[in-house]
Amino acid sequence: MDKVVNPRSVLHALQPLGLGSAQVESLLSYFCRLAASHSTSTVSLSREVARRFEHDVEEQFDWFQRQISGIGDSALTWSSALSALTSIPMLDRLTFLPWRNVIAQSGFPIVSKGQFCPHCLAEDRVNGGTPYFRLAWESKAVTVCHTHHVRLEQHCPCCYKDNVRHAAALVVPGWCTKCGAFLGRDVSQASTDHAIEPVELWRARQMHEMLRVQQQFAHNPRRSALVDAIQHIIAEMDGGQGTRFAKRVGISKGTVHYWLQSNKLPTLEISMQVASQSGIGVVQLLTGDTAHWKPPSQEPQLTLFKAQDRKRGPQREIDWNEVEQQLKTYLHQPNPMPVREVSKQLDIETRFLYLKCNQTARQIGQRWLTHQKHRRQVRLAKAMPYLEAAGRDVLKEGKALNLREVTTRVPAEVLSGVQGLYEVLRDVKSRVGHPSAAASNDCTESPKPGLAR
């Protein structure tokens, strides 16, 4: 119990970024920066939160599996826990919680792999700010950047791996958690992505508006206002007939009845559908603001929310000789690339590349592996002087050489480039030795490579 009362280790009062605007930081981003500002790992900080709020948060979990920026109980627990520990009020504004009374908790999907806009991250840095993850990026409904009109990305531009944004013990928002490369990119560097659908921009705009207004809420939207708005729309557009309205927006007739008669809530997806079909904004719908809404004079585009066919187009003839030539070009280009990335760019499955152009595909793969290994060595060599200096420091102070001690002494950007940090620390320990080893004149102590500087 003392741990709750004792104010000794309250966390830094770190200011959230983008507060008050639609560019607001996500709680997940805030949490990562908080860990970094305490020179600790996200894992240790999540344990600390769990320890202090043990009745609410279980200890055995991967923090990044939790939807801490979402609309459910994890978001509630974590935003209040971090508000309590940092003394920064209203951290629920870094989550989607303000919409909790009008969107079903199970109906607000959060992305499982962190997505990001490379241009937003690059601009943060150019403007002298701290790169951070926007709350908008956490919603599955958002696939493009409202500001830059580009598709959000999941892959590192350098090592091409995905899930590189935050699922790691050591996170510096904006840098790849696998290879340490910066995830941002200047707007002049175009992406290779496919065209963006108008519906994607529409969704991003709706979310942008939601985040903008939620920063100013005096009271969070209420369910009764939403129900009134839906009833108003049904009355104006379909003469009060729920069945006709349900058909119009492409949902089952039972669903509409369900919202109006029981205390169930629509999912975000369905509210977006209702908004797009009636021409009201999602914010106006959810907040019950129908004062300026008029029923659309012409039929809205019913195709807007038809399930999108993301499958590849009709079967095409592939000229394998030509593919072979293209693969040779990839093989000899200055920057090595993994086969899966080549496959993506050629729009041909990896398996077929190995089947039809086996030798060249394997050469591309091998070249990539060698390149990766080399890069790891270079990064490690760069980090080693820092790690050794930190190791000597820690041992001189008579402490144990562990991740926590090292992160307080080595810049996070240097550390984030090191793979297998625990292994590496063991190596560092044997390199710098123990102070008592020097005193004991033990000649069997292994030589210390690479120490001459």
**Which parts of this chain interact with Zn ion (CB under 5 A)?**
117, 119-120, 145, 147-148, 156, 158-159, 176, 178-179, 181
The nearer residue to Zn ion, 222 or 367, going by C-beta atoms, is 367
CB of 339 to Zn ion, least distance (A): 17
CA separation (Å) from 263 to 6, 99, 102, 177, 438?
42, 15, 10, 43, 73
CB of 131 to Zn ion, least distance (A): 12
Question: What residues contact 446, with CB distance under 8 A and at least 6 apart?
Answer: 430
Alpha helices in 308-434 (DSSP H): 320-332, 339-346, 350-356, 358-396, 403-409, 412-415, 421-432
CB of 198 to Zn ion, least distance (A): 18
The nearer residue to Zn ion, 159 or 357, going by C-beta atoms, is 159
Cα(86)–Cα(13) distance, rounded to whole angstroms?
5
CA separation (Å) from 233 to 68, 158, 268, 278?
34, 49, 17, 7
Residues 133, 113, 128, CA angle at the centre, nearest 5°? Answer: 20
The nearer residue to Zn ion, 103 or 120, going by C-beta atoms, is 120
The nearer residue to Zn ion, 148 or 247, going by C-beta atoms, is 148
The nearer residue to Zn ion, 204 or 323, going by C-beta atoms, is 204
Token duo for residue 318: 């592939």
The nearer residue to Zn ion, 174 or 391, going by C-beta atoms, is 174
What are the beta bridge partners of residue 144? 151
Question: What residues contact 220, with CB distance under 8 A and at least 6 apart?
Answer: 98, 99, 100, 101
Token duo for residue 424: 């590496």
The nearer residue to Zn ion, 100 or 134, going by C-beta atoms, is 134
Cα(429)–Cα(105) distance, rounded to whole angstroms?
48
If residue 134 lies in a helix (H) or strand (E), which one and from where to where?
none
Alpha carbon 111 to its chain centroid, in Å, reads 7
The nearer residue to Zn ion, 80 or 147, going by C-beta atoms, is 147
Question: What residues contact 149, with CB distance under 8 A and at least 6 apart?
Answer: 196, 201
Residues 37, 28, 205, CA angle at the centre, nearest 5°? Answer: 130
Backbone angles phi, psi at 271, to 5 degrees: -65, -35
The nearer residue to Zn ion, 159 or 249, going by C-beta atoms, is 159
CB of 377 to Zn ion, least distance (A): 16
Residue 396 DSSP code? H
Question: What residues contact 71, with CB distance under 8 A and at least 6 apart?
Answer: 95, 96, 97, 99, 100, 103, 105, 108
The nearer residue to Zn ion, 173 or 288, going by C-beta atoms, is 173
| CB 188, CB 155: distance < 8 Å | no
The nearer residue to Zn ion, 57 or 117, going by C-beta atoms, is 117
The nearer residue to Zn ion, 158 or 424, going by C-beta atoms, is 158
| CB 261, CB 199: distance < 8 Å | no
Backbone angles phi, psi at 77, to 5 degrees: -65, -50
If residue 282 lies in a helix (H) or strand (E), which one and from where to where?
helix 282-287
